[in-house]
Chain A
Amino acid sequence: MLGIMKKDAPVYLLMSGFGVFMPALDAFLHGLGANSVVTTGMWTLILVIPAAQCEIVERLTRGYRFLRALPLTAREIVWAKHLWPLTLVSLHALYAGLLFAALAPAEKVRHLSRAYFVLNGNLALLAAAVLLFFVFRFGLSRASMTALIVLFVVGMIALQESVLHLLKSIVAFGTWPVLVVVTSLSFGAYALLAMASTRAFEQREV
């Protein structure tokens, strides 16, 4: 399982590097205001893209045929593919939250960012889990995967401002108990989708 994760690591780490560096640069150059919440949160969402990139490579190289010939169970393969998005999206949401908690001048922005990053992190996790489910259930083609991910990113970019405005008007959303419940539900959904992917992968011919 670690071998598969190591193989995929460069793709995830490159994108995560940008996800860490760009918000920090933004904070350094412009300071952290309400607008930075949107740009920083985008990086959490963008962490879904490496998942699609890795699957496109597996598809092109018939990688799963190679992996299924080795002593690896379907569960190990599927979870190896789920652990990177889970880890990096969670860490990035945490990083963004801490960045704003430490550097944002206004309490209102800190409060808003917390809710926003948790929401984006959960959205990114669900998007990754759904994408991976489609991959393991149907063996998505490169074109379908690219289309899905482009639709997701474009959709999210288009909706970011609206989500921010919505959040501003629902300040109550940002309380800790609500965030914990929403995140727990999201983690639970992620685990359920990973289990469904494992089952689908066990049944599917690679």
Chain B
Amino acid sequence: MTMKRITFFARCLVVTAAVAIASAAVAEPPDTSSWACEYCPFADGYRADYEAGTSYSSDDAAHFGDGSGYNEKGAYLNLDGSGSYASDDYQAGWVAEDLGLDSRYLSVFGGNQGAYHYRVAYRELPRHRFDTTRTIFTETAADSLSLPPAWQRSAVTGGFAALDATLVDRNISSERRVLDVGGRYLPFDRFQLSANYRRQERDGLRIAGGSSFTQSSLLPAPFDYATNEAELGLRYAADAGYLKFFYLGSFFENENLALRWQTPFASAVGAETGARSQSPDNSFQQISLAGNYRFTGSDTVIGFNVATGRLEQDDSLLPYTGNSLLATGPLPRQRLDGRVDTSNVVFTVSSRPFDKARIKLAYRLDDRDNRTPVDLWSRVIVDTFNSGESEANVPYSFRRVRVNASGSYKLSRSLNISAGYDRTEYDRDFQEVAEQTEMGGWGLLRWKPNAYLDIRAKGGATEREIDRYDEAVAISLGQNPLLRKYHLAYRYRRFSELTLAGSLPEKPLSLTVTALYANDDYTQSRLGITEGEDLRVAGDLSLAVAENRYFYLHGGYENIESDQFGSEQFAVPDWSARNSDRFYSAGGGLVFRQIADSVDMKLDYTRALGRTEISLNTLAEGLTWFPDLESTMDSLRLQLVWHRSARLAVNLGLRYARFEAEDWALEGVTPDTVPVVLTLGASPYNYDVVLVGIGFTYRVGTRGDDEDGNPQ
């Protein structure tokens, strides 16, 4: 190489280096010490919106009030609001919803952002299942139900002479109350401590079946639960990753060990009172360590999550029977000493080896190791007689391992292709299938030519194979050896999904449609589920006609079908059934804001129709159809807000809800309809409710507002 050429390249390098250095200097952040933020309206002081009003509901309707609190006809007080306070080193706020209802919620939070944060929240959730139920039982104690005085027992409900005179209304309702207290503290840079305590209380009535050999009574069973849950976390956040240690403790308490009831049916001597166990006290504690690290050079993230836990239950056991005339021998133990150890391990790698490609690997292990002791227990049949046999309890355990691998590649700016492989392995104890493997693959094509159109098409298949369906286990459980439980059976699944999202450039119109189809074939099953099919479509359309004015429509359709076979002869299949669940939903509405500069309006209508068709094909009757199970809901909501001034707003609300159900399991089923079951006589949901309300919102505080209260 000549000197001339050497000099030439040396000059190139010098110039290049100079430009590089200059480029690096331009990229540095500026000196912001002079950025005074004089025009920044930082929050300062207290500001709040207080809302008060009243509503009136036109009718009693348990289903309408389920969750909302509007279950009875009459007037309601509405109290809502939110507020915030900010100063240099302290920020706080509160949110209140429905304080006048049984579904009230209140949250108070605050702290010094960047240093500590606390939160206290309280929520009530009413659950109203039925308000049409009647019962003869009275609650003589929290765990006892008694018959009316002078009740005359009979073998069948038709013989209950005193039934009509002793039935009383008893709504099946309950309430959940949740108290949440928690906080975060940042003692040092990059470290965060978090703690949360939650107490859930739930009490009321539920429906419990009280069996008395060949008869049964549906009981309005009282219950009283409490769950205390504690979470503790310690997190370290580095620039490229983080590490978190986490403790979870959950402790469930049931005030009542058992529910006792006097059976209304004629029964064996000594079996006049039944006793069923209630959910036992239990506890679950778990510690976990999780974290990730990002290698920025290759844009690779490695994550992991390791958890180990223990579930324990050691409540006192009831005796075999309350029938003192039955000789049973002692219990093998007074307490179960139940214990389940859980383990969860996750490891993930996600990487972009180059800009157009991404790969992802994930490994997941979930292990449930049931260490509950095994004992032999006498078989006493519903307090009526001792079978003389013994039976061992079975501590079911399983282990599940999932491995996923996927990759995507950008074929062009608008076209992206992805594919993946999934494998799941199950190992189970004491069940018909000890080992099970499901493998499958999928492919996805995504076309997104611009910001206004996005189409995705995905398809795939999985095959679930089992090593052996142990018919000896099935037979030991009294099962027909030809039965294949659908979660343990061989299955071939095909699935596909299509999503289209589009909008017009510069036009305020958008459309989204999603469709999903899956088909399950249980080709090796002769009894049980043999085929399943699931089709779902949903979409919506929105159109903005002007600033602060838009319309929307939404709809959905779902059809889930399954075929199954049975055998009355305990041999080859001799009957079949098809279950078809359909669901249709449609709705729309509009949102208009700042009508005449002071009125906001929101109108929404939704209709939902659920229909279930069940058919049976039997040797004796041929093909027969059940009446359709139907539920139809119409819901109309209108909300008007008149901003009388910057501080005062008037709120008007109208809600109309109509619900009609046809349910052959409830229709015409009075307490004595079924000869051997005393039911609660619940009726299908049918109601028309109009809920009207008026309220006022008053804004206080000068945070960010001018002297007239106008937001600045």
Q: Do A and B share a complex?
A: no
Chain A positions near chain B (C-beta within 8 angstroms): none
Chain B positions near chain A (C-beta within 8 angstroms): none
